[in-house]
Amino acid sequence: MAESRPRVWVSQPLFDDVIGQLGQYFDLTTTVDVAAYSSAELSERLAPLDGALITLNERIGAREIAHAPRLRAIANVGVGYNNLDIAALSAAGIVATNTPDVLTETTADLGFTLLMAAARRISDAERWLREGQWGQWSFQNMLGADIHGATLGILGMGRIGQGIARRGAHGFGMRVLYHNRSQLPAQTEQALGAQYVDFDTLLAQADHLVLVLPYTQDSHHIIDAAALAKMKASATLVNIARGGIVDELALADALSNGRLAAAGLDVFEGEPAVRSELLALRNVVLTPHIGSASLATRRSMVQLAVDNLIAALGEGASAGHPPSAINADAITAAKAGGATVGATKTGATKR
Ligand code: GLV
C-alpha cells in the first residue's frame, strides 16, 4: 500500500495560487472563510497533522499541540511570533518559522505613514472636512508638527527600525536617535545616520517616537505613564510593533490631557478590539494592523511561509533547511541532550 503523504493545514484563506504549491508534496487542507479558533478547536485541528501554516491570529502553545504526535512544523505568516510558545514547540521537536525581511520596507513605509499622518493631523483634518466644518476655517486651524528636520526616536533597531531610520535621516533630514538591546556597529550607525542613546534620553529628545521592538515580558507596557511623562508634550508616538508594548489607558490619558500631541497606532493590546478611550480621541490615527499589507508583500510572506513549511517537512530543494526557522538551535540542543523527539519528526533545521 502506498505510504500516505504528510498532512498539512492552512488556518486562514490566503492566496490560493501560492498555497496550492503545498499540494505538490502534502495532503493539503485549506480554509475558505476567515475563522477565529478557540484553543480547543486548534488542538483538534492540529491533532492529525504533520505541519500547519498559520497566521498571527492563531495562538499555539503546549495545550494546542498536546494531542498532535505527528506535528513537525508550524509556519507562521508574520515576522513577530508572540502568538507561538517557542519553548513548548522546541521541547516537542516542532520547527517554528516566520517571515522576516520580505515585509521590512512595506512595514517601515506604514510606520512613516502613521508618523506623518499623526503629526500632520490627517485623520482629524479629514474628519473635520467631512463633518462640513471647513466653513469655520481659521489660519491657526489644524496646526501640526513638522517632520523634516525634527528628531526621530526609534525604540528597537532591527530591520524595520533601520528602515524607518533611513527614511527619516535620508528622506526628511531628521536627526535620528535610537535605543535597542544592543548598539549597532559604528559603520551601520553611520550609514543609517542614527545615534544610540539610553532609553530616557530617547524619550526626552524625540519629537516623533516610533516603536518597533519585539513584544516580550520585558517590553510589556514599556511605554507606561512614567515613560510618557518623560516625552515632550509636543511629541508624536507611533506603535507598529505590538499593542502590549504600550499602556493604552495611560496613552489615552496623556493624549486627552495635552501631555502628548498625537499618536499613530497600528497595533492594539486586545485587537481586534480597540479601547473606547482611544476611539474617542481625534488626535490618534488608528489602523487595523496593516503594517505589511501591500499586495506584493503579503504574497511574498505567504510564499516564504510555504517555502518554510515544505523545507521543514523535509521536501523540496531546501529539504531540512527552512529559510527562516526560529528555533532550529533549540531543537538541535534538545536532540543532542537526548530530549524526546517523536519518531516521525525530522532532523533539526539550520539556515
Ligand atoms: C506583523 O505584525 C508581523 O509580525 O508580521
DSSP 327-342: SHHHHHHHHHTT----
Which class does domain 104-286 fall in? alpha beta
The CA 269 to ligand 1 mean position distance, Å, reads 14
Cα 71 to Cα 333: distance, rounded to the nearest angstrom: 19
Residues of the chain with pLDDT under 70: 1-2, 334, 337-351
Ligand 1 within 6 A of CB of 89: no
Q: Closest by alpha carbon to 210, among 176, 258, 257?
A: 176
The CA 342 to ligand 1 mean position distance, Å, reads 30
Active site members: 242, 271, 289
Cα 91 to Cα 79: distance, rounded to the nearest angstrom: 21
Ligand 1 within 6 A of CB of 111: no
- Looking at residue 25, its pLDDT comes to 98
Report CA Rg, the chain: 22
The CA 234 to ligand 1 mean position distance, Å, reads 29
pTM exceeds cut of 0.95: no
Cα 204 to Cα 229: distance, rounded to the nearest angstrom: 9
Ligand 1 within 6 A of CB of 292: yes
- Mutate which of 79, 81, 101, 216 for ligand 1? The one with the most ligand atoms within 8 Å of its CB, which is 79
Q: What number of other Cβ atoms are within 10 A of residue 196's Cβ?
A: 16
The CA 288 to ligand 1 mean position distance, Å, reads 12
Ligand 1 within 6 A of CB of 347: no
Closest protein CA for atom 4 of ligand 1: 80
The CA 102 to ligand 1 mean position distance, Å, reads 11
Closest protein CA for atom 1 of ligand 1: 78
- Mutate which of 59, 83, 103 for ligand 1? The one with the most ligand atoms within 8 Å of its CB, which is 103
Ligand 1 within 6 A of CB of 79: yes
Name the residue ranges covered by the structural domains of the chain.
Answer: 7-102+295-336, 104-286
Ligand 1 within 6 A of CB of 245: no
Which helix or strand (DSSP H or E) is residue 312 part of? helix 295-312
- Looking at residue 329, its pLDDT comes to 82
Closest protein CA for atom 3 of ligand 1: 78
Paired strand residues for 10: 53
Q: Is the dihedral of CA 77, 82, 87, 88 positive or negative?
A: negative
Ligand 1 within 6 A of CB of 244: no
Which class does domain 7-102+295-336 fall in? alpha beta
**Closest ligand 1 atom number to CA of residue 267:** 2
Residue type, 341: V
User: Hey, do 7-102+295-336 and 104-286 end up sharing a CATH topology, with the first three levels equal?
Assistant: yes
Q: Closest by alpha carbon to 270, among 240, 293, 247?
A: 247
Examine residue 272 and say whether the peptide bond preceding it is cis (omega within 30 degrees of 0). yes
Half-sphere exposure of residue 94: CA atoms within 13 angstroms, side-chain side: 29
Cα 267 to Cα 243: distance, rounded to the nearest angstrom: 5
- Looking at residue 347, its pLDDT comes to 28
Ligand 1 within 6 A of CB of 291: yes
Q: Closest by alpha carbon to 144, among 263, 311, 292?
A: 263
**Closest ligand 1 atom number to CA of residue 241:** 2
- Asked if 94 contacts 65 with a C-beta cutoff of 8 angstroms, the reply is yes
- Looking at residue 343, its pLDDT comes to 30
- Average pLDDT for the chain: 94
The CA 292 to ligand 1 mean position distance, Å, reads 7
DSSP 146-212: --TTSEEEEE--SHHHHHHHHIIIIIH--EEEEE-SSPPPHHHHHHHTEEE--HHHHHHH-SEEEE-
Cα 33 to Cα 52: distance, rounded to the nearest angstrom: 17
